[in-house]
Chain A
Amino acid sequence: MTLDTGPALSVSALGKRFGELVALDGVALSVGHGEIVGLVGRNGAGKTTAMRAVMGILAPDRGTVTWDGQPVGDRARLRFGYMPEERGLYPQMRLLDQVVYFARLHGLDPAAAVDSARRWLDRLGLGERAGEKLVALSHGNQQRVQLAVALVHSPELLVLDEPFAGLDPEAVDSLSEVLFERAAAGTAVLFSSHQLELVERVCRRVVILEAGRVLAAGTLAELRRELPAQLRVKVDGPDGWTQGLAGVSVERSDEDGVLLVVQPGTDPQTILQAALAAGPVEHFGFESGGLLELYRRMVSR
């Protein structure tokens, strides 16, 4: 595995307990250079804890976090950008000073920090207000400053905890655009969200967390393959043709034909042949369903 093709961020066997509560239980995930990975799961599934562990904000009880194959230390973390779920900046500090400060903390020299801070504030439409204090801004604009703080040092990994929460549709579009642009420039992006239709739109790969474990991970197509598929078949012939087919059961039957549940590993061709044997096949297709549907089925499994 070479550096270029291997995952940039690799997390394995991450475990963390808070007293009796098991927050993470063997979580593994990876994000490649230029890849956007979505972390989904209900509240308390361990998304924030996993992200904090990646950022080194809390120390996991066990497990490793590596960047380009090396354990992540203070030096590597300076090339990470972070946006916590509970946003936080200095209310009384001016925007430019604030963004410059965080750039400096990430190792930029004063001139480069000012340059980059101005560029990001301009880019996010706050250039005119660089001299104002944070408290003077609306909630949405404060959110943009938070994003500028995460981006100002041109991080190689972006970790964003619920970045879309509370954004209006326009802001959602502009944030997505920024993420696509950063990913195209080679930045690895890991973000969490409850808005699954957004996750589906923005990332190619998702990781589903449930009670501190990875329930499933992969592209949407890969996830579908792991689950029993739903196959709708309409045959102009007698019912009961599915009997005897291994790995196939009837979910329900109506005027649109039958909805079959097909276990992973079952060859659709055998089902099609059985259907053809029963009569002319009018419809034969897998119900795709979005991430939301997929997630529901995964979690209820």
Chain B
Amino acid sequence: MRRGAATRVIAEREIRERLSGRVTRIVTVATAILVVAGIAIPGLVKSSASATRIGLVGSRSQALAPAFERAAKAAQVTVRLPDVAGVGAARALLDTGKLDAAIDMGASSATIEVKQSLSAQTRAVIAAAVDEAHFRSALAKAGVPVAKVLPAVTPVPLTTVVLKPQPADQDARYVAAIFVGLLMYLAITLYGTAVATGVAQEKTSRTAEVLLSAVRPQQLLVGKVVGIGLVGLGQLAIAAIAGLLTNAAVHSAKIPGSVWVLMPAFLAFFVAGFALYAFALAATGALVARPEEAQSATLPLIMPLPIGYVLTFVAIGSPNATWLRVVSWLPPLTPTLMPARIALGTVDWWEYPLVTVIMLASIYGIVRVASAVYAGGLLRGGERLSWWTALRGKD
């Protein structure tokens, strides 16, 4: 039998055994729901960001509506100016979030009511409107024709030129970055640990010895990693398709760099990241003395995954930090950090070939060492082994 054929038979068994279990189906559905939610929610969040609502309390305030319109226009802010009968009604509306602020004009002063805080922008709009109204009435009292001095009292339009504008989908980018980082962290942990426990079970149930009488350790190792990897990739692909459909349905198009780049990039980084972790975890599984030890033995190895995920928040805070860029090239952190940075749109084109080369070289190195440790540990009973003992004692 050709060597590849045995590897395929091994991978097929992994896939069949996993698909026959209920856990796999539950995880598939849960992942898809997570992805759909991750895409739908930013779209919904974005659409709710709209006009600032300033309630005009009483007739004195309501008379100022044109002044508010002018001030808002000058400040390039969209406002809605609902009339409110009294302070009590205004407070009720503020409390339920139907108003952002309420203005109550007195004879010579004005009160702004807000629920928690007043944004500087809203305050500036209100102040400009109130000042303008005050100035007009003062002019009228003094008998100066308003039309003559009108140019003086109309707020000067201030235009801000932003040299590096924030993308319109900034919030969506943040959500997407956190989301891909989290999904990658969970997916690699889940399937990587499955490889380690699978190996530990084969070792401790002594099935490994029967298997090794027919196939080589490398075939067994590769078959297992490929089989479990394909189950994971299949689940994520289903989730990705669900995500694309959701994106099309909500027309959010809020996923940065377009979903069509992020989704394939995510799957590619999953394959690379899974390979990197799975081979190392398989070797760890071959070192344990009891299957229960697999979980604790793999813990130190998967630590870079949550660290990478936490660093995605740093990446959001300072997206252009050089140290973060360099850290994202470190192979254990690449799977979580790079997709997040792609989502944030901070990856330069030349980083792709660089990261590809670093990842492939690391995977090659890990596969070499892990295969030797795996082969050395699989048939050695007794106590839990260290990587070094397994390497030295390999047959």
Taking Cβ atoms with an 8 Å cutoff, the residues of A that contact B are 18-19, 52, 55-59, 74-75, 77-78, 80, 82, 84, 86-93, 97, 101-102, 104-107, 146, 149
Contacts and interface: CB of A to CB of B under 8 A. Distances in A.
A59 B216 CA distance: 12
A84 B1 contact: no
Given A89-B207, A91-B205, A104-B9, A80 B395 contact: no
Contacts of B56: none
B395 A58 contact: yes
B98 interface: no
A78 B214 contact: yes
Given A56-B213, A101-B9, A102-B214, 7 more contacts: A58-B395, A80-B213, A84-B213, A87-B206, A88-B207, A93-B17, A104-B9
B205 A82 contact: no
Nearest to A60: B395
B209 interface: yes
Given A74-B216, A78-B214, A57 B206 contact: no
A52 B215 CA distance: 13
A18 B379 CA distance: 13
B205 to A, nearest CB: 5
Interface in B356-395: 379, 393, 395
B6 interface: yes
B34 interface: no
A89 B205 contact: yes
Contact of A149 (B1, B13, B208, B210): B210
4 closest residue pairs by CB, A with B: A88-B206, A107-B1, A82-B213, A88-B207
B213 A88 contact: no
B211 interface: yes
B54 interface: no
B292 to A, nearest CB: 15
B10 A105 contact: yes
Interface string B187-207: 000000000000001100111
Contact of A105 (B9, B16, B202): B9
A102 B1 contact: no
A105 B209 contact: no
A105 B214 contact: yes
Contact of A55 (B9, B17, B202, B213): B213
Interface string B1-45: 101011001100100110000000000000000000000000000
A91 B206 CA distance: 11
B330 interface: no
A57 B379 contact: yes
B212 interface: yes
B211 to A, nearest CB: 7
Contacts of A106: 1, 214
Contacts of A75: 1
A261 to B, nearest CB: 44
Contacts of B210: 82, 84, 88-89, 102, 146, 149
A104 B1 CA distance: 10
A86 B379 CA distance: 11
A78 B395 contact: no
A222 to B, nearest CB: 31
With a 10 A CB-CB cut-off, give which of A97, A101, A105 has the most chain B CB atoms.
A105
A101 B13 contact: yes
5 contacts: A57-B209, A77-B214, A80-B213, A97-B16, A105-B9
Given A78-B1, A104-B9, A57 B212 contact: yes
Contacts of A149: 210
B206 A105 contact: no
Contact of B209 (A18, A84, A91): A84
Nearest to A16: B395
Contacts of A87: 206
Contacts of B1: 75, 78, 106-107
Contacts of B202: 90
With a 10 A CB-CB cut-off, give which of B3, B17, B202 has the most chain A CB atoms.
B17
Contacts of B212: 55-57
Given A78-B1, A104-B9, A105-B9, A90 B214 contact: no
Contacts of B205: 88-91
B375 to A, nearest CB: 10
A147 B206 CA distance: 15
A154 to B, nearest CB: 14
Contacts of A90: 201-202, 205, 207
Contacts of B10: 105
A10 to B, nearest CB: 19
Nearest to A57: B212
Given A74-B3, A105-B10, A88 B209 contact: yes
Nearest to B214: A105
Contacts of B5: 107
With a 10 A CB-CB cut-off, give which of B5, B17, B207, B208 has the most chain A CB atoms.
B207
B207 A105 contact: no
B209 A59 contact: no
A88 B378 CA distance: 13
A17 B286 CA distance: 22
